[in-house]
Chain A
């Protein structure tokens, strides 16, 4: 019994963000094999179908290694003391605003008065950036009606089945979808922020191997088998996450999760200054801007 317990306790548990529950999954199983061979420890890979179940499993302490989306790794760091160690090199999370290719919408001017949007989960960076895209298109948020699907595969399904007019899609999901699916979608807008990223995070049981694991992942592209695996997963390589990047994305996630509103005129201005005050502030109108 004690031997059995010791054996199960020595197995490292690995999971990935649920957006990989579709096409890329075999590659992640191979990644698990690659890591366990190089770390010399038995690893068990367990994917999840949706964001809520994936997060709940990690937060219940079942995992030692997670490849997580930005807002999730911030949570794991804050709640479980996980450490984000490695991120894809030159690879950031971007968002596609998609409609149906055979639908009437080509640009925001074509959007209906009430817009049904499929989104995987409100607590993701993809949802936040999707909202930013709508703001930039001058779409009043009061016009939006969300269908939360729990996963990006669900977003694709909702769009293609006509349950939503638009979808917020993680770019990797769109790009890894089959040609048949991509041909049925139209990209109406997309982000180009190059700001947030997924990351490998480790739990306390892996802390002693942090340097080894960081070096292993960062050197994958120099190893023939590692390179094949990276190509299969769609990454050029991995690089270490810096403390500054962690601090920056933690601030962003905290603000979003706490419901902080962006400063703009039609949202809540933090200034509360009457319009006349702006005229007073123009000290030298005859010479243009002061």
Chain B
């Protein structure tokens, strides 16, 4: 099982993305990079996804390129988000999921944003890191 927030985990997320045609359709005009990290685990490297026209074309360690969005929160909140206990919209509105980037874009793409968080939760993951 992949360790949460590892390179292996984010690459599995990228592969899982390919099995969701609905998000690819919703994001067909969307082109952005975004990064994730765990707020209370500064020792864990950040990971990122790069989406072009709805397809994830890079999933791996954050490599220094410009990020359009950054999402971070505590390990506890990540667990809630990945388990579906906390929806994407609720996480954003309550700022349990910290978010840097265009809020307008997040709202415009709220449905795929929620699907994207559910994709993260579809990967069996080991939180013992």
Contact = CB atoms under 8 A, between A and B. Distances in A.
B30 A193 contact: no
A109 B86 CA distance: 37
Interface in B36-64: 50, 52-53, 55-60
A265 B56 contact: no
B58 A251 contact: no
A255 B103 contact: yes
A264 B53 CA distance: 8
Contacts of B116: none
Interface residues of B, number: 35
A193 B88 CA distance: 12
A263 B105 contact: yes
A196 B105 CA distance: 14
A94 to B, nearest CB: 12
A128 B104 contact: yes
B93 interface: yes
B17 interface: yes
Given A266-B29, A288-B18, A282 B58 contact: yes
A242 B94 contact: yes
Nearest to A282: B57
A283 B102 contact: no
Interface in A225-274: 242, 244-245, 247-248, 251-252, 255-256, 260, 262-266, 269-271
B interface SS class:
mixed
Interface in B90-115: 92-95, 102-105, 107-108, 110-111
B83 interface: no
A269 B105 CA distance: 12
A289 B94 contact: no
Interface string B1-39: 000000000010011011000000010011111000000
A121 B68 CA distance: 30
Contacts of A136: 26
A258 to B, nearest CB: 10
Interface of A: 128, 132, 135-136, 138, 192-196, 242, 244-245, 247-248, 251-252, 255-256, 260, 262-266, 269-271, 278, 281-283, 288-290
Interface of B: 11, 14-15, 17-18, 26, 29-33, 50, 52-53, 55-60, 66, 68, 89, 92-95, 102-105, 107-108, 110-111
